[in-house]
Amino acid sequence: MAFLVLFARKMSLKNQVNDLNYKLMQKQQELQDLQAYTAAIADGEVTMNELTTTPASMFGRMSQYMVASHNYAYQAAQFNYAQFGGAYAQQMQAQQGQAQQGQAPQYDYQAIVFNNLYQQQKQQFVKAEQEQLHIKEKAMENEKLKLEQQLKMMEAELQTIDESINKGIKDSAPQYA
């Protein structure tokens, strides 16, 4: 009867170990996908090549990132430009005009100022996204660590059960003198 209980427990543990191995594999894949996404957005720009080679689990998030980062940066740049950028661009244009009297200005200062504001806002958006990703990555690593610890404990228990079964078989085997 004791062997039956040990064998039942052993089978149950093997199923649990297999389930944990599968969950661990999934967590590792999610973590790799998240790291690939983080690397793709590191420079603030997502190219079509990066978008098409992104893991399937992160494709939606990357598409949303592209739209959201542009919209946020554009709106914030418009607001900041309206606050002080236009006056700065006009001042720079006037200085350029005075320096080159009679020549057309070489630069469109308004576009340059707006583009600088846009790039600054886009970098702020990238930093915020990377902070969120860092927090999520740490949480995933903690979950992965917990799964690995559970797996080690179950494997140790499985080994103990195997040793108990082997010892029981040796002890119960008939001994002929």
**Any idea where the domains of the chain sit in the sequence?**
2-167
> 46: pLDDT confidence band, cut at 50, 70 and 90?
confident
pLDDT > 90 fraction of the chain, expressed in percent and rounded: 54
The pTM of the full predicted model, rounded to 2 decimals, is 0.72
Do you know the residue count of the chain? 177
Contacts of 142 (CB under 8 A, 6+ apart): none
